[in-house]
Amino acid sequence: MAGRVKIFVPRETAALSMGADEVVAEMLAQGRLHGRDIELVRNGSWGMSWLEPLAEVIVNGERVAYGPVAADDVASLFQADFLSGGQHPLKMGATSAIPYLEKQDRWTFRRCGLIDPLSIEEYRGNGGFAGLEKAFELGAAGVLQELKASGLRGRGGAGFPTGIKWQTVADAAGEQKYIACNADEGDSGTFSDRMLMEGDPLTLIEGMLIAGFAVGANRGYVYLRSEYPLARTVFLKALAVARESGWLGKNIQGSGFDFDIDLHLGAGSYVCGEETAMLESLEGKAGLIRYKPPLPAIAGLFGKPTVVNNVVTLASVPEILVRGSEAYAALGTGRSKGTLAFQLAGNIRRGGLVEIAFGLTLRELIEDWGGGTFSGRDIRAVQIGGPLGAYFPQHLLDTPLDYEAFAALDGLIGHGGVVVFDDSVNMAAQARFAMEFCALESCGKCTPCRIGSVRGVEVIDRIVANENRDANLELLQELCDTMVDGSLCAMGGLTPFPVRSAVKYFPKDFEGSSAVQASAGVNK
């Protein structure tokens, strides 16, 4: 009888939705049938969602991947002796050699997929908490210095320099300060926060600890969207594991530093991903936008100085400290330093998470990693940066992935979600959807967003229906101006960007005649 074999099958939402649990059950059953002693590790996802469920076995000390595995495939895998790396149509070879993964610059996600997310030993064994130890060594001021030098910018969407934000909180008066982690990942086509919290939650905890240490906060809150039940379960367990092992709570590892974290669930509101609405919600109030200033860094949660950062931002910090700001800043381009975990979604062949340095073009990302559309048809538009991001037409796909380059084209990098549409898309319907989404998700506080979004839908309908086309097109542009210039936050302020890009780059779709609609095909 052969020795004990380790198999990895992710416990990650995308993998689960593709039947990972059934695969696991079948593997265990087949293992018993074949008399094999199997240790099944539920790791996080490597981010190659197109290969999920991705099963890995250790062969000669190397992880060999098979995917996407369905429960029905398991018997044949055993027959092919996959436990020893046997040949099988699903065999992808060594995981680390899969080009999709190999070509990435894995910093933030370097442990994601690699380890058992809830094992402190594996975390430590793979460089975990080295960032925090480095922080203790550098001291708070040193951490802030490193972070500023790294050029890390907020990965939640706004791209504000993280080091400066932390410095502001560190310098703010007051004894009580907070770290608030925004895990209300609501942008369409995004899942990097979730993957990290499911696959390597201790990195987020470590990032928050470093933040707390650097700014003088002893309390952190994670605001997690309620649509992520698995992330919640895993993260809560990770908190317990960290507490039990002395990496969270009083006097962490004898350093004298106290820090603890609470998890708070959202209630299904997109706008609560906006930092001030999130703070309101954390305080137990309705998720309405607060005006700024004062910035949350000065008066944030419960009126105290607060670092509000996205999951990926915080989780990026430990590795930056470990490898040094210089190495991080050497990656990327212009003022967009380091890496971003892009997420490929929509009509794309190889959807998943790709952590790469800034500077690549959008086309390279979509084609080299994504492999073009899932439908095989031509790409017509790409929306990047979530529902408030502009639609990019073919001729702009060579834009480099860089905050400023996108901004120059009225576009967003945002949280790095890339949603691909093929040539069957009706862009008037997409423009309408942008307004409709705003109407649905507006907090309702400011008038341009609350009423403007509703009127936006109506005006687009009139344009498409050929009612006073020119006047209504002009009204739509004025409405967009009103929303951009008048809205209280980015929700209403950015909604016009996808609308305007659709009008600008795809004017024919708004001509409303049946011919256009027929040729374009009706979107859903």
Partner 1 sequence: MTLLKEPDYGTPLSPREDLVAVEIDGLPAKVRAGTTVLRAARESGVDVPKLCATDSLKPFGSCRLCLVEIEGRKGYPASCTTPVEAGMKIRTQTPALAKLRRNVMELYISDHPLDCLTCSANGDCELQDMAGAVGLREVRYGFDGDNHLFEAIDESNPYFTFDPTKCIVCSRCVRACDEVQGTFALTIEGRGFKSKVSASMGESFLDSECVSCGACVQACPTATLMEKSIIDNGQPEHSVLTTCAYCGVGCSFKAEMKGDQVVRMTPYKDGHANHGHSCVKGRFAWGYASHKERVLDPLIRESIHDPWRKVTWDEAIQYSARRFKEIQAKYGRKSVGGITSSRCTNEEVFVVQKLVRAAFGNNNVDTCARVCHSPTGYGLKKTLGTSAGTQPFDSVMDADVIVVIGANPTEGHPVFASQMKRRLREGAKLIVVDPRKIGLVRSPRIKADFHLPLLPGTNVPMINAFAHVIVSEGLVDEAYVAERCDTEAFAAWKEFILQSENSPETVSEISGVPAEDIRGAARLYGQAENGAIYYGLGVTEHSQGSTMVMGMANLAMATGNLGFTGRGVNPLRGQNNVQGSCDMGSFPHQLSGYRPVADDAVRGSFEKMWGVELDSEPGYRIPNMFDAAIAGVYKGMYIQGEDLAQSDPNTKHVEAALGSLECVVVQDLFLNETAKFAHVFLPGTSFLEKDGTFINAERRINRVRPVMKPRQGKGEWLVTQELAQALGYPMNYNNESEIMDEIAALTPTFSGVSFKFLDEVGSVQWPCNEKAPMGTPIMHIDNFVRGKGLFIETAYVPTEERTTRKFPLLLTTGRTLTQYNVGAQTRRTDNIVWYHEDLLEIHPSDAELRGIREGDRVSLSSRKGEVTLEARVTERVQPGVVYTTFHDPQTGANVVTTEYSDWATNCPEYKVTAVQVAPAVHRSEWQQQFDQRAKEQGKILETT
Residue type for 398, please? D
In the structure encoding, which two tokens stand for residue 449, read together?
Answer: 């967003």
Pairing of strands 178-183, 306-310: parallel
What is the chain's alpha carbon radius of gyration, rounded to the nearest angstrom?
A: 24
Indicate whether 73 belongs to the interface with partner 1 (CB under 8 A): no
Indicate whether 184 belongs to the interface with partner 1 (CB under 8 A): no
Comparison of 217 and 479: residue with beta carbon closer to partner 1 = 479
**Least CB distance to partner 1 at residue 218 (A):** 20
297 and 211 Cβ atoms separated by less than 8 Å: no
Comparison of 250 and 335: residue with beta carbon closer to partner 1 = 335
Comparison of 262 and 481: residue with beta carbon closer to partner 1 = 481
**Least CB distance to partner 1 at residue 390 (A):** 19
Indicate whether 269 belongs to the interface with partner 1 (CB under 8 A): yes
Place of tokens 């979107």: 523
Pairwise CA distance, residues 352 & 179, whole Å: 29
85 and 2 Cβ atoms separated by less than 8 Å: no
CA-to-CA separations, 4 to 40, 59, 116, 274, 506, in angstroms, rounded: 10, 12, 17, 48, 59
Indicate whether 471 belongs to the interface with partner 1 (CB under 8 A): yes
CA-to-CA separations, 133 to 103, 110, 246, in angstroms, rounded: 29, 18, 13
263 and 222 Cβ atoms separated by less than 8 Å: yes
Indicate whether 436 belongs to the interface with partner 1 (CB under 8 A): no
The residue range among 74-82, 376-384, 439-447, 514-522 that interacts with partner 1, by the rule CB under 8 A, is: 439-447
DSSP-H helix ranges across 216-346: 229-244, 275-282, 311-323, 325-330
Instruction: Say how many C-beta atoms besides its own lie within 10 A of residue 378's C-beta.
Output: 11
Comparison of 36 and 462: residue with beta carbon closer to partner 1 = 462
Give the one residue of 48, 54, 401, 446 binding partner 1; rule: CB under 8 A.
446
Comparison of 41 and 454: residue with beta carbon closer to partner 1 = 454
**Least CB distance to partner 1 at residue 455 (A):** 5
Residue type for 460, please? I
Helix (H) or strand (E) holding 164: helix 162-171
Comparison of 352 and 492: residue with beta carbon closer to partner 1 = 492
**Least CB distance to partner 1 at residue 444 (A):** 3
The residue range among 232-240, 337-345, 426-434, 440-448 that interacts with partner 1, by the rule CB under 8 A, is: 440-448
- End-to-end alpha carbon distance in the chain: 55
Comparison of 269 and 313: residue with beta carbon closer to partner 1 = 269
Comparison of 353 and 446: residue with beta carbon closer to partner 1 = 446
CA-to-CA separations, 485 to 66, 434, 447, 473, in angstroms, rounded: 52, 17, 12, 18
**Least CB distance to partner 1 at residue 325 (A):** 30
Indicate whether 301 belongs to the interface with partner 1 (CB under 8 A): no
Using CB under 8 A as the binding rule, the residues of this chain from 275 to 294 that contact partner 1 are: 286-288, 291, 293
Indicate whether 175 belongs to the interface with partner 1 (CB under 8 A): no
Using CB under 8 A as the binding rule, the residues of this chain from 472 to 491 that contact partner 1 are: 475, 478-479, 481-482, 485-488
Indicate whether 448 belongs to the interface with partner 1 (CB under 8 A): yes
The residue range among 177-185, 338-346, 454-462, 506-514 that interacts with partner 1, by the rule CB under 8 A, is: 454-462
Comparison of 266 and 372: residue with beta carbon closer to partner 1 = 266
In the structure encoding, which two tokens stand for residue 252, read together?
Answer: 């962490």
Indicate whether 444 belongs to the interface with partner 1 (CB under 8 A): yes
**Least CB distance to partner 1 at residue 275 (A):** 15
Pairwise CA distance, residues 67 & 49, whole Å: 10
Entry field: residues in the chain: 524
In the structure encoding, which two tokens stand for residue 211, read together?
Answer: 């933040």
Indicate whether 160 belongs to the interface with partner 1 (CB under 8 A): no
CA-to-CA separations, 422 to 123, 269, 403, 458, in angstroms, rounded: 41, 29, 25, 26
Q: What are phi and psi of 252, to 5 degrees?
A: -60, 120
Indicate whether 439 belongs to the interface with partner 1 (CB under 8 A): yes
239 and 281 Cβ atoms separated by less than 8 Å: no
Comparison of 378 and 474: residue with beta carbon closer to partner 1 = 474
Chain positions contacting partner 1, by CB under 8 A: 269, 271, 286-288, 291, 293, 439-455, 458-459, 471, 475, 478-479, 481-482, 485-488
